[in-house]
């Protein structure tokens, strides 16, 4: 199907345009199928879109009770005495989704899932990684790295994480028929969720990721957590390989911090340095890739219209 870019005026306009696309496509899916399977993202980028999406659901434009959702990522190591407290911690992505979308729906989704990061005991994970170094290896070139747990590890705990937490989440998505429509944002280095720069595409369906020290330090400095000991040091995340198995991928980006990675993702080489650049291969293989950008994030693309046309990428300027 290829790549389609919508350029919007600002965050509010981007949110409205993205919501119109997602609502329309959700309605189309529900005309063909009994259920729609949506992949959802956290972060600032989709928050405005979620509010419009909920309003449309409550207005009856589609039946939100026929939707299953799978989120991109969740922390490992959130504070709490038990799993329930960790899931409902104010900094958890599960809590984020309740606050930004689920609580605004009059008719709730039939099922919602986030990756099972809260089931992992961070202290036990750290101990098992330390004591079983032959069971795993780091993957990635940036500060945040994926922890690849090898097949048949000696550690029963690491074997459980690989089978139940990582492969288990991918299995639930497969059992649901795959994701019909995946919403993603993009990090400043072109990463999606916690699939950081340099993490290989192959084998990246669901990742266990070690957060970089700056991310942890900033979380404490910004007041999200009291101390480093209280802060998550790991996360479970969908990787680019799983993201680009969705039937439609809608990417939202706004602001100058995203301009370079957005431009390189479509006009540069396909590279692990810019994980969202794998969208080029996805679109070439008949995937339906849609970018919804504000005009600042789209600046590099707007300056290369001829190259976009040469690559058969359609750009619609709505500003």
Per-residue pLDDT reduced to its tens digit, 239-268: 999 999 999 999 999 999 999 999 999 999
Q: Is the CB of residue 198 less than 8 Å from the CB of residue 190?
A: no
Query: Residue 105 — very low, low, confident or very high, per pLDDT cuts 50/70/90?
Result: very high
Query: Residue 311 — very low, low, confident or very high, per pLDDT cuts 50/70/90?
Result: very high
Closest by alpha carbon to 275, among 285, 283, 284, 264?
264
Query: Residue 212 — very low, low, confident or very high, per pLDDT cuts 50/70/90?
Result: confident
State how far the Cα of 42 lies from the Cα of 185, in Å rounded to an integer.
8
Closest by alpha carbon to 236, among 132, 150, 95, 116?
116
Query: Residue 213 — very low, low, confident or very high, per pLDDT cuts 50/70/90?
Result: confident
Closest by alpha carbon to 205, among 242, 178, 162?
242
Q: What is the mean pLDDT of residues 122-151?
A: 93
Q: Is the CB of residue 112 less than 8 Å from the CB of residue 65?
A: no
- Listed in order, strand segments (DSSP E) in 83-135 are 111-113
Mean predicted lDDT score pLDDT of the chain: 95
Tokens, residue 161: 């994480």
Q: Where does residue 289 rank: exposed (0-12), middle (13-18), buried (19+ CB within 10 A)?
A: buried
Query: Residue 199 — very low, low, confident or very high, per pLDDT cuts 50/70/90?
Result: very high
Q: Is the CB of residue 266 less than 8 Å from the CB of residue 313?
A: yes
State how far the Cα of 190 lies from the Cα of 275, in Å rounded to an integer.
6
Q: What is the mean pLDDT of residues 59-71?
A: 98
Tokens, residue 219: 């979380």
- Lowest average pLDDT, out of 4-8, 27-31, 137-141, 162-166, goes to 137-141
Residue 222 has pLDDT above 90, yes or no: no
From residue 313, how far is each of 106, 118, 134, 309 by CA, in Å?
A: 38, 40, 45, 6
Query: Residue 17 — very low, low, confident or very high, per pLDDT cuts 50/70/90?
Result: very high
CA 148, 151, 153, 159 torsion-angle sign: positive
The whole-number pLDDT of residue 239 equals 97
The better pLDDT of the pair 4, 229 is held by 4
Residue 163 has pLDDT above 80, yes or no: yes
Per-residue pLDDT reduced to its tens digit, 138-149: 998 776 799 999
Query: Residue 220 — very low, low, confident or very high, per pLDDT cuts 50/70/90?
Result: confident
Query: Residue 154 — very low, low, confident or very high, per pLDDT cuts 50/70/90?
Result: very high
The whole-number pLDDT of residue 84 equals 94
Residue 109 has pLDDT above 80, yes or no: yes
HEC sequence for 127-166: HHHHHCHHHEEEECCCCCEEEEECCCCCCHHHHHHHHHHH
DSSP code for 212? P
Q: What is the mean pLDDT of residues 305-315?
A: 97
Q: What domain count does the chain have?
A: 1
From residue 160, how far is each of 37, 166, 171 by CA, in Å?
A: 26, 9, 14
State how far the Cα of 161 lies from the Cα of 79, in Å rounded to an integer.
19
Percent of the chain exceeding pLDDT 70 equals: 100
Q: What is the mean pLDDT of residues 162-191?
A: 96
Q: Where does residue 121 rank: exposed (0-12), middle (13-18), buried (19+ CB within 10 A)?
A: middle
Q: What is the mean pLDDT of residues 91-100?
A: 96
The whole-number pLDDT of residue 229 equals 82
Q: Is the CB of residue 123 less than 8 Å from the CB of residue 76?
A: no
CATH assignment at residue 122? 3.40.50.1360
Closest by alpha carbon to 67, among 110, 104, 126?
110
**pTM score, whole prediction:** 0.96
Structural domain range at position 135: 2-317
Closest by alpha carbon to 238, among 311, 278, 184?
184
């Amino acid at each position: 199907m290829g790549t389609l870019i919508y350029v919007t005026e600002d965050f509010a306009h981007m949110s409205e345009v993205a919501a119109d696309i997602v609502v329309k496509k959700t309605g189309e899916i529900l005309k063909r199928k009994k259920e729609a399977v949506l992949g959802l993202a956290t972060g600032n980028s989709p928050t405005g879109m979620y509010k419009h999406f909920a309003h449309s659901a409550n207005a009856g434009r589609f039946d939100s009770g026929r939707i299953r959702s799978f989120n991109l990522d969740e922390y490992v190591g959130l504070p709490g005495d038990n799993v329930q407290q960790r899931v409902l911690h104010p900094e958890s992505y599960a809590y984020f989704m309740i606050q930004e979308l689920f609580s605004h729906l009059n008719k709730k989704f039939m099922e919602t899932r986030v990756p099972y990061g809260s089931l992992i005991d961070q202290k036990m994970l750290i101990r098992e990684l330390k004591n079983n170094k032959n069971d795993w290896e780091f993957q990635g070139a940036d500060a945040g790295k994926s922890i690849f747990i090898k097949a048949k590890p000696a550690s029963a705990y690491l074997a459980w994480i690989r089978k139940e937490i990582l492969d288990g989440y991918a299995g639930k998505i497969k059992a649901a028929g795959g994701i019909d429509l995946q919403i993603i944002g993009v990090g400043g280095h072109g990463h999606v969720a916690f699939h950081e720069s340099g993490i290989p595409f192959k084998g990246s369906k669901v990742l266990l990721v070690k957060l970089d020290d700056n991310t942890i330090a900033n979380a404490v400095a910004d007041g999200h957590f009291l101390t480093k000991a209280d802060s998550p040091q790991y996360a479970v995340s969908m990787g680019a390989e799983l993201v680009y198995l969705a039937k439609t991928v809608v990417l939202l980006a706004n602001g100058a911090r995203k301009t370079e990675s957005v431009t390189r993702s479509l006009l540069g080489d396909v590279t692990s340095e810019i994980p969202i650049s794998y969208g080029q291969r996805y679109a070439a293989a008949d995937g339906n890739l849609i970018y919804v950008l504000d005009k600042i994030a789209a600046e590099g693309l707007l300056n290369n219209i001829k190259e976009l046309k040469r690559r058969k990428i359609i750009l619609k300027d709505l500003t």
